Amino acid sequence: MACPRAIVENAVARVGADPVRWAIELSSVVVRRIVAEVPRLGGSPAAVELLRRGNEVTTLRALLTLVEGPAAAPPTTEATLEGIREFVHRGVPLEEVLQGVRIGHAATTEAFLRACAELIGPDDPNDPNGPNGPDKAVAEVTAVSRELFSYVDDLSDTMIRTYLAEHEVWSTSAAAARADTVRSLLNDAATTTTAAATDVGEASRVLGYDLWRTHQAVVVWSDSPNGGSTLQAAATEVLRARGATTTLVIPVASGRLWAWGTVPPGGTRRTGPWEPGAEAARKTEWQTEWQTVEEALSRHRAHAAFGTPVDGVAGFRRSHREAERGERVERLRREAGRAPRRTTAYADVATIALLATDLDAAGDFVRRELGGLAARGAPMEALRTTLHHYIGAERSLVEVARRLHVARGTVTYRVKRAQEVLGHDLDDRRFALHTALALAEELGDAVLLPRPLHEPHELHGSHDAER
């Protein structure tokens, strides 16, 4: 349930719990279809949640309209319209918003008509005027179609008026000017002409942010559609922890924003490489920075993906692209059921990000290199994880046992069993093997073999326990 509890409780009191539960489940299906066909209406987990909240309200209102008549339907609420205002701020065109409405209307109407047919039951050709006769079915379907069309027509009119009114206010605001300037900077190719330099100077003035400096970009997001100011505070705090002297924050969707910080060239801080003990001091400082970042994100219940520090306008773009790629890797990991990370640094996931640019091709590569080892399920996952660490640790049984918190004998058994499944020596195509294992480790089911139609139940426990 995403919409306000009071709306749900009111609907339950009027039509019962089962119809309301059905309507909420339908809304989730409809939202998935809308986002699949018009991706810009999504944009972040929180934005999808906001869309789901508004769609649940409209679906419940449609249900009440059908049960009690148009006069009994509650007025359009803020939960429905807040998503429209966000679309304006994100620059989503009105035609795409209305396309989403049409898709939602078609899917909702189809579900209501199907439910209507099921409730009426099979036709009785011997009694056309009876409770289950064809005349009854035609009358009910016609009524449902008419009421839903009228309802969506009124809803679309309200949404259009809300969109246009918000657009008029937003288009003249400083926030809109900043967002438009940033999008323009991200879209334009870097040049060195005098005119471009003038444009960059003007853009710096509009943004209140020096674009000639060294930039570290970050994408910050939350699973909650609320708390925009909290996310902005989190973005500023984590960039300051990374050494930023000035910051630029641009909200781009509910629960998601872009941000940049001006950092020292090369991302260095106080310790220079020529100083005694510089490497050890820098490592300690680096660890402290990231610990501070993790703590800030945890406190704000947010997640962040960082690009690497790069100079100038080209660096402004590049670091941002890297941050978005890091964010995508984290989303793929979460879809694969991996434990979510608070912080993702592009430098740590660059290989996975590049290899997963074409996810279908990445899956083909993994399945080809791993063969039977790419099967789903806990036993094969344990073999893959152990082998991945074994190759990465230069075949140190002690190190792998320490990392995975298992006995050395368990590591030995798993490596031997993994090699049997592979059917070749680990030195054969070692780089490709290690790369495929890394992809499987991060992306899970997205790159593994399909699950068998009649999958046998996995036995409880494992031979590992005996070794």
User: pLDDT per residue over 263-280, tens digit each?
Assistant: 988 654 444 444 555 566
Residue 196: the pLDDT is 52
Percent of the chain with pLDDT over 70: 81
How many domains does the chain contain in total? 3
> Do 282 and 237 belong together in one domain?
yes
Of the pLDDT bands very low, low, confident and very high (cuts 50, 70, 90), residue 226 is low
CA 28 vs CA 51, 56, 105, 390, 410: distances in Å? 10, 8, 13, 43, 44
> Do 153 and 189 belong together in one domain?
no
CA 231 vs CA 68, 91, 202, 221, 386: distances in Å? 42, 20, 27, 7, 37
**Given 148, 170, 192, which residue is the final one in a domain?**
170
> Do 343 and 436 belong together in one domain?
no
Residue of higher predicted confidence among 323 and 129: 323
- Answer yes or no: are the C-beta atoms of 151 and 65 closer than 8 Å: yes
Q: How many CB atoms lie within 10 A of CB 226?
A: 13
**Given 302, 328, 352, which residue is the final one in a domain?**
352
Residue 71: the pLDDT is 65
> Do 327 and 412 belong together in one domain?
no
pTM above 0.75, yes or no: no
**Model pLDDT for residues 28-46, shown as the tens digit of each residue:** 999 999 999 998 888 778 8
CA pair distance 396, 411, nearest whole angstrom: 10
Residue of higher predicted confidence among 360 and 453: 360
* Non-local CB neighbours of 120 within 8 Å, separated by 6+ positions: 131, 132, 136, 137, 140
User: Which of 360, 255, 343 lies closest to 307 in space, CA to CA?
Assistant: 343
Instruction: Establish how many alpha carbons lie within 13 A of residue 107's alpha carbon, considering only the half-sphere containing its beta carbon.
Output: 22
Provide the CATH number for the domain around residue 398. Answer: 1.10.10
- Answer yes or no: are the C-beta atoms of 1 and 21 closer than 8 Å: no
> Do 258 and 399 belong together in one domain?
no
> Do 107 and 152 belong together in one domain?
yes
Any idea what the Cα angle at residue 97 is, between residues 95 and 100, rounded to 5°? 110
Q: Is 467 exposed, middle or buried (0-12, 13-18, 19+ CB in 10 A)?
A: middle
- Crossing angle of helices 45-68 and 5-15, in 10° steps, is 30
- Answer yes or no: are the C-beta atoms of 101 and 40 closer than 8 Å: no
CA pair distance 48, 222, nearest whole angstrom: 12
Query: What is the average pLDDT value for the chain, to the nearest integer?
Result: 82
> Do 345 and 402 belong together in one domain?
no
**Given 291, 318, 352, which residue is the final one in a domain?**
352
> Do 244 and 303 belong together in one domain?
yes
pLDDT reading at 215 higher than 90? yes
> Do 194 and 69 belong together in one domain?
no
CA pair distance 226, 360, nearest whole angstrom: 34
> Do 72 and 199 belong together in one domain?
no
Of the pLDDT bands very low, low, confident and very high (cuts 50, 70, 90), residue 452 is low
> Do 68 and 88 belong together in one domain?
yes
Residue 307: the pLDDT is 95
Q: Which of 41-50, 147-156, 389-398 has the lowest mean pLDDT?
A: 147-156
Provide the CATH number for the domain around residue 236. Answer: 3.30.70
> Do 166 and 195 belong together in one domain?
no
pLDDT reading at 461 higher than 50? no
Range of the domain at 14: 5-170
